[in-house]
């Protein structure tokens, strides 16, 4: 038994010396080496893919920043086109503002000189964002050309509508209020194409709605439009606005509506047009509270100053108080009679 064990030990030692066992060990080691190499390669590939994705993400961020900057610059151009924001014109104060829910807006207003009159426009293009913003500049240019070619507001609005309907690029539906203010007659001749009726707040606290006009622009090429007229007395105000203002909702899902609009403007009666403008917009936003507006808010205020009324009353009072000069009696021409001739 001891001899058998010694023989087995010699055979085992000889196998080690022959290199059979190391060969086996080498084979096993060789099996393990490729596995470590494969794992290292997978990790390197994953790192490269992650780095590539990070670079792509950074490139997207840079492009997004450029796009945001371009949209911001376009919004500034829009603000310049909708001008002037505040104007004093003879006895009248005009102020306008747009509260956009996005950078670019489909709402616009324009105050323009038309010979001896003043052109007043407020429009609302269907939709928001880039598409409506791009159409805005075209519509404002079209309106200015047509308002100079046609004296009557209804004719100018009809011409704008025909141009839009003939356009093959499918322009959006647009609501428009356009008016001419005559400073000599203190009269506003207007045409309202689809906007909520503007309000005239009288000095005596009465309210009138300007409803004469026709349908929205860009729908029917042969649509007909009518004009209305209203006189503005000292202390009267005209408010033109987009539907986003009166349809603004509060957390209880109530709309602001025209009743609250006229009440908000009346509460600052006697203030300047600019003060009425921002006070009214603040009232709308306070009403909305935590509920953000879903549409652009646009308001245009035209006010005939009460100073004109006070000045006229003062002049009339002075004319009554001034002493009247008595005219000196004029000597009558001497009549030559027959007796006079005889005496001569």
Strand partners, 43: none
- By CB neighbour count within 10 A (0-12 exposed, 13-18 middle, 19+ buried), where does 84 fall? middle
Report the share of the chain in percent with pLDDT over 90: 50
Q: Does residue 4 carry a pLDDT above 70?
A: no
Report the share of the chain in percent with pLDDT over 70: 76
The stretch 308-333 carries a mean pLDDT of 51
Mean of the per-residue pLDDT values for the chain?
80
| pLDDT at residue number 228 | 96
- Which of the four pLDDT bands, split at 50, 70 and 90, describes residue 340? very low
Cβ pair 104, 79 in contact under 8 A: no
| pLDDT at residue number 336 | 41
- Which of the four pLDDT bands, split at 50, 70 and 90, describes residue 35? low
Identify the top-confidence range among 47-61, 165-179, 205-219.
205-219
Q: Does residue 173 carry a pLDDT above 70?
A: yes
Measured from the Cβ of residue 31, the count of other Cβ atoms closer than 10 Å reads 9
Q: Does residue 8 carry a pLDDT above 50?
A: no
What SS3 state is found at 44? helix
| pLDDT at residue number 34 | 52
With a CB cutoff of 8 Å and minimum separation 6, the contacts of 241 are 122, 195, 196, 198, 261, 298, 299, 300
pTM assigned to the model:
0.72
């Amino acid at each position: 038994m001891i001899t058998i064990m010694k023989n087995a030990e010699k055979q085992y030692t000889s196998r080690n010396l022959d290199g059979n066992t190391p060969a086996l060990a080498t084979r096993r080691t060789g099996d393990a080496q490729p596995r470590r190499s494969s794992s290292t390669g997978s990790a390197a590939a994953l790192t490269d893919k992650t780095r590539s994705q990070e670079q792509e993400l950074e490139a997207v961020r840079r492009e997004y920043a450029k796009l945001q900057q371009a949209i911001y610059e376009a919004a500034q151009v829009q603000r310049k086109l909708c001008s002037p924001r505040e104007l004093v014109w003879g006895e009248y104060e005009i102020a306008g503002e747009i509260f956009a829910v996005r950078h670019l807006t489909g709402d616009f207003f324009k105050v323009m000189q038309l010979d001896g009159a003043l052109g007043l426009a407020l429009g609302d293009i269907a939709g928001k964002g880039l598409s409506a913003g791009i159409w805005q500049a075209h519509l404002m240019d079209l309106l200015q050309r047509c308002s100079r070619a046609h004296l009557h507001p209804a004719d100018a609005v009809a011409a704008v509508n025909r141009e839009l309907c003939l356009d093959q690029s499918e322009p959006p539906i647009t609501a428009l209020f356009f008016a001419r203010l005559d400073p000599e007659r203190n009269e506003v001749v207007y045409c309202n194409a689809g906007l909520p009726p503007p309000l005239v707040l009288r000095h005596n606290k009465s309210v009138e709605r300007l409803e004469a006009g026709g349908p929205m622009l860009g729908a029917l090429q042969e649509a007909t439009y009518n004009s209305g007229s209203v006189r503005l007395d000292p202390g009267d105000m005209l408010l033109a606005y987009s539907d986003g203002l009166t349809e603004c909702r509060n957390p209880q899902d109530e709309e602001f509506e025209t009743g609250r609009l006229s009440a908000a403007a009346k509460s600052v009666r006697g203030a300047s047009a600019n003060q009425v403008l921002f006070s009214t917009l603040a009232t709308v936003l306070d009403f909305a509270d935590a509920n953000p507006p879903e549409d652009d808010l646009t308001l245009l205020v035209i006010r005939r100053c009460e100073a004109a009324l006070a000045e006229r009353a003062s002049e009339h009072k002075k004319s009554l108080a001034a002493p009247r000069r008595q005219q000196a009696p004029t000597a009558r021409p001497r009549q030559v009679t027959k007796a006079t001739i005889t005496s001569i």
